[in-house]
Chain A
Amino acid sequence: MSEPDLLYTDVEEELRASVRSLLADRADAAEVLGRVESAQPLDLDLWRTLAVEVGATSLPVPEALGGQGASWRETAVVAEELGRSVAPVPFLGSAVLASATLLHLLGQGADANAEALLSRLAEGAATAVLAVPLSAFPGSPLAPVSDHGGALSGSIRSVADATAADVLIVPAGTVLHLVEAATATVKPVVSLDLTRPVSDIELTASPSVALAGDGAAAVRAALLVGAGVLASEQVGVAEWCLTTTVAYLKERYQFGRPVGSFQALKHRLADLWQRVALARAAARAAADALATGARDLEITVRVAQALCAQTAVHAAEEALQLHGGIGMTWEHPVHLYLKRAKADEIALGTPGRHRAALAPLVGLTA
């Protein structure tokens, strides 16, 4: 087994720079905070720019399907930057989970409908979501959806990014179906994570097109890809929390000193920095394993998700506490990161579920 490349390539750094400068321009903290209580919390203009101008949605898609033929490594770099700014765009739902589902299906065999949708997702002409709860994890049971001659009925709770979707990819048994979102009821619910709100989907004899291939395998694979890419988002969240808190503790004075000169606080930040360094290595390993289809892919992804989920939550909790009173206000953006980090901890499998699945893979059995 060759060692994974755990660094960022020059191309990845260039991609990061262009995403970061776009987000600095269009999704600063005040902008994001102002949007989250509006009728459409997702920033669809920004989403279009990311897809069409930056090409952030086409990275892992083969060139033959209108993609860039890059890999999940580059996708993970975009996710890291989106995490850093908690930008409210349906990247995870569409460019990661839906695209990974379609890519896996097409890896099993040709399907004209799957190909057409993936091309549209890649070029930014459409947005899709995999209709599973954000809390679904690789191997989790899914809500029953009945299929009567292509008419689907069922309820799916807590789906991320669904309000932006043109198309829903709905698992019914072991078959995946495409459903025009307009023929389903997508009902936003008040969500813990303000910047990635979830919705309930209600299908009532919704017309659908079945896709060829083993849908259950595609869903499982996509959730694993999602868990791996999410680790990079969590690194971005943690990194923002760390750097913002360090900057604040340098300028905040109490007792006639910058509070960052007190050892009690310095040590907490040093520990946090150390944990972020470990999380970054684990997240890069997962992205590289997804890109190369490494033999130990599942181990690497589960390690990264178990660790990075906890690191992001810890970083956000530390950021809030170390900001003191201002950290408890709605006005300060730290709560957006705490809510994202906590929702991300549940997303695509909790750390405990990933550990439980990891243990037998590495020969640790009950």
Chain B
Amino acid sequence: MSAPATPEQVRGLVADLLAAHDPATTDRLAFLRARWAAGLAWVNFPVGLGGLGAPRALQQVVDAELAAAGAPDNDPRRIGIGLGMAAPTILTFGSDEVKQRFLRPLWTGEEVWCQLFSEPGAGSDLAALGTRARRDGDDWVVTGQKVWTSQAQTARWAILVTRTDPDVPKHAGMTYFLCDMHAPGVEVRPLRQVTGEAEFNEVFLTDVRIPDAHRLGAVGEGWKVAQTTLMNERVAIGGRATPREGGMIGVVADTWRARPELHTPEALDRLTALWVESEALRLAGARQRQQLAAGSVGPEGSAMKLAFARLAQELSGFEVELLGEDGLRYSDWTMVRPEIVDFTGRDAGYRYLRAKGNSIEGGTSEILRNIIAERVLGLPSEPRVDKDVAWKDLPR
């Protein structure tokens, strides 16, 4: 069977699925598994792995048709790390057994995934990471500490980067694994953040055994595998269409409209300036999507994230200041464990504090500026003093 290439063809497949499995009477998980079997989970994936080998753009058609029919979805916001990062990496580097074992429960949400990359001593310099994996027969034994892990408390599996050879320069001695979060030696501790809540975790790994069959890519090629994961993370962050006044500007503009007693001419001009920039950011996002659809991948994605972080911070800071008396209050400092993070949720104080993370998570704004300067503008790179030094000899 050749892959469907037109919206009509995939609409036909969606109609077949809906006819055979009425969403109104079918159990949610059963429906999701049937959707997987029909190749309508992610149509760009291969046949047999939830896809049809079809163009990625056709997924929008499938999603829209199924949403219109009232079909359950896989709650993508809850399993974003699995869908956006683990899945493309497993697809690229996993053995057939690994793909068959992991991709379906990942997509249906039966197994939640988390990411064990950052460490206390390896943030922007991820390649300096020191979590050690040592070979022991058919297994690897892993010891170390990871940090900033969201969903670790609910995750069944993790993508994990380790140090397997400390005697070579940092990029050369890493290996990538799939780690069972229920394995003995895995300990998850909440990491409370400035908002009071604990969205993230610290994960302590003590002599955790991982079968060699759960290695992705060759021993020593963990950096290359991790690059695939991180590239997909940037795509996932930059991709969605937003309406005018979507996101933080909409929340702040609504506050402005609801509270005329707070208005000053100075504040109005500041808010309008932020409205202008938010609209330009929205248009730049639309322009990037049009470029992708036309088949050219522009580097605008990193511009988007820089501007997004700056605007989220300025807007949320403006709102707290505007609110005056109410800006002095905060909803709740209790340490809760949110499953879904909403940057525009809760109250103004929360939005202000949470937005501080926007210029740190997923690549700091400083690292993004380096990337733009070097890869887009072609400026010379920073002197690399650690390039030829064995990992174990790096100053730390």
Contact = CB atoms under 8 A, between A and B. Distances in A.
B290 interface: yes
A274 B286 contact: no
A278 B282 CA distance: 9
Interface in A309-366: 351-352, 355-356, 358-359, 362-366
Interface in B253-302: 253, 256-257, 263, 265, 268-269, 271-273, 275-277, 279-281, 283-284, 286-287, 290-291, 294, 300, 302
Contact of B291 (A7, A267, A303, A352): A7
B287 A266 contact: no
Contacts of B263: 366
A278 B253 contact: no
A172 B198 CA distance: 67
B377 interface: yes
Interface stretch (A12-20, A191-199, A253-261): A253-261
Interface in A251-287: 257-258, 260-261, 263, 266-267, 269-271, 273-274, 277-282, 284-285
A240 to B, nearest CB: 14
Contact of A246 (B268, B369, B377): B377
Nearest to B245: A362
Contacts of A352: 269
A178 B300 CA distance: 47
Contact of B374 (A5, A266, A306): A266
Interface stretch (B151-159, B342-350, B379-387): B379-387
Given A364-B268, A366-B268, A278 B290 contact: no
A6 interface: yes
Contacts of A280: 284, 287
Nearest to B243: A1
A250 B366 contact: no
B126 interface: no
B291 A261 contact: no
A359 B370 contact: no
Interface residues of A, number: 42
B378 interface: yes
Given A266-B369, A271-B369, A250 B277 contact: no
A270 B276 contact: no
A307 interface: yes
Interface string B69-88: 00000000000000000000
B376 interface: yes
B307 interface: yes
A53 interface: no
B280 A356 contact: no
A218 to B, nearest CB: 27
Contacts, number: 129
A249 B268 CA distance: 39
Contacts of A25: none
Contacts of A359: 268, 271-272, 275
B380 A250 contact: yes
A263 B124 CA distance: 15
Interface residues of B, number: 44
Interface in A1-34: 3-7
A275 to B, nearest CB: 8
A111 B253 CA distance: 45
A211 B307 CA distance: 48
Nearest to B291: A7
B307 A274 contact: yes
Contacts of B265: 366
B36 to A, nearest CB: 32
B303 A278 contact: yes
Nearest to B296: A7
B379 A249 contact: yes
B122 interface: no
A282 B283 contact: yes
B368 interface: yes
Central interface residue in B275, B302, B374, by most chain A CB within 10 Å: B275
B189 to A, nearest CB: 35
Contacts of A250: 378-380
A116 B271 CA distance: 46
B268 A3 contact: no
Contact of B287 (A6, A270, A358): A6
B380 A363 contact: no
Given A4-B286, A261-B381, 4 more contacts: A7-B291, A246-B378, A273-B377, A306-B276
22 contacts: A3-B290, A6-B286, A246-B379, A257-B380, A266-B369, A266-B370, A266-B373, A267-B373, A269-B379, A270-B368, A270-B369, A270-B377, A273-B376, A273-B377, A274-B307, A278-B281, A355-B272, A355-B273, A358-B276, A363-B253, A364-B275, A365-B268
